[in-house]
Amino acid sequence: MKKQSFLLAITASALGFFVDLYDIIIVSIVRKSSLLSLGVPEDELLSKGVLLLNVQMGGMLIGGFIWGIIGDKKGRLSVLFGSIILYSITTWMAPLSPDYWVFLLLRFMAGIGLAGELGAGITLVTEQMPQNKRGLGPAIIGSFGMLGAIVGAYVGAHYSWEFTYRLGGYMGFALLILRFGVFESGLYEKLKEKTTSRGNLALVIKNPRHLRRYIATIFMGFPGWFVNGIVMTFTPEIAKSMGMTEIPSVSTVFTFFFLGFTFGDFSCGLLSQFLKSRRKAILIYLLSFTFLTCIYFIWGRQSVTVYYILFFLMGVSAGYTIVLLTNAAEMFGTNIRSTVTTSSLNLLRASVIPQSILFSALVPFQGAAFAAMITGVCSICLAFYGYSQLEETFHKNLDYVDE
């Protein structure tokens, strides 16, 4: 029963991450077609596109705290059900929007719903799996979930934006039904018998060591969202600024990147198991990402083929994200594990907000390519600082609480 329990948890979480990334990607893929259909003028597509991205990420930021606290107070399963219900309804309704502002509100609500998916899944799986195999569950979740991004890129490129969003809603409803067989975490069930404070973010904020590790996790996620939220989303503008005559397809860029990310998530998870270290695996991939990002800005303009290959390789190197989230879940006690994992994940995603603001502010003065390069340097520097604060957690017993 124990093995069946964590297998079901892995399946439910992997499918949830599939829908999660499908949705995040389609916002960028159908950005132009959806905004034009909603009456946004051509010369406002960039500014309104940045606002759309920031509003959805803002919803995820708020939702990360809401669902994280609920996960510690009411259980991991309560998040897996509640989050997908809110996401499915608001995403299915998106094509019914009469104008841009209603669409923006629905995407904000969808962002709140989507915020609970991966954090709750990672928390549930790490708590159910044996200590010596804990890295494998999240690796499977990450690698399968990345396929959602590839499907999103394909659907967004070949079908109408209305169908693309409706499909996301239908997948969410189907996933809701599949989750009825998932069991609650045994560690959480034991926690309910104690009087320990649960879902209390103050336990993190008031403890300098906890707060430092929490912020470090967020900073570590900046590079992945620099590529996703800036370089890929605004590929047409950046490629043109780089002097490319043939502009790469946004959907193809996303496909190559997330094919690499699929392999990167799984391989980084396996590497952390082989090395018996989360930190060493993360460092190897972060160094690779830094090198490949430099290559992208130097030689990415050579041809569309080189451009796509570099995005595949950057996707592989950015695959440390799932190991990072596993590390985050392992660094904190059962009473605040969901709060920390879910909120840090969405703060990590929300890093696209300051990055997009910096990028947008620099574009008029430096051009899109140079603005992206400066933004990338800042994100990588923050990531290396974050790495210096991470704790090794591979051998850690998760049956404990933080006071």
* DSSP SS3 for 233: coil
For residue 195, is it within any domain? no
For residue 402, is it within any domain? no
pLDDT reading at 106 higher than 50: yes
For residue 354, is it within any domain? yes
Identity of the residue numbered 333: G
CATH classification of the domain holding 142: 1.20.1250.20
Question: What's the CA gap between 324 and 318, in Å, rounded?
Answer: 11
Mean pLDDT within 133-145: 82
For residue 167, is it within any domain? yes
Question: What's the CA gap between 28 and 50, in Å, rounded?
Answer: 10
Could you tell me which residue, 2 or 107, shows the higher pLDDT? Answer: 107
Helix ranges, 276-366 (H): 278-299, 304-317, 321-330, 337-349, 352-366
Residue 183 DSSP symbol: P
pLDDT reading at 131 higher than 80: no
pLDDT classification of 200: cutoffs 50, 70, 90: confident
Mean pLDDT within 210-229: 91
Domain around 82: 2-178+200-389
pLDDT reading at 337 higher than 70: yes
pLDDT tens digits for 338-388? 888 888 888 888 888 889 889 989 999 889 999 999 999 999 999 999 999
Look at residue 128 in the predicted model and tell me its pLDDT: 82
Question: What's the CA gap between 114 and 238, in Å, rounded?
Answer: 29
Look at residue 147 in the predicted model and tell me its pLDDT: 83
248 token code pair:
């790469």
CA distances from 185 to 6, 9, 177, 246 (A): 9, 9, 19, 51
For residue 219, is it within any domain? yes
Look at residue 172 in the predicted model and tell me its pLDDT: 92
For residue 396, is it within any domain? no
pLDDT reading at 1 higher than 70: no
How many domains, the chain?
1
Is residue 340 within 8 A of residue 200, CB to CB? The reply is no
Look at residue 98 in the predicted model and tell me its pLDDT: 92
For the chain, give the mean pLDDT. Answer: 88
For residue 185, is it within any domain? no
Calculate what percentage of the chain has a pLDDT beyond 70.
99
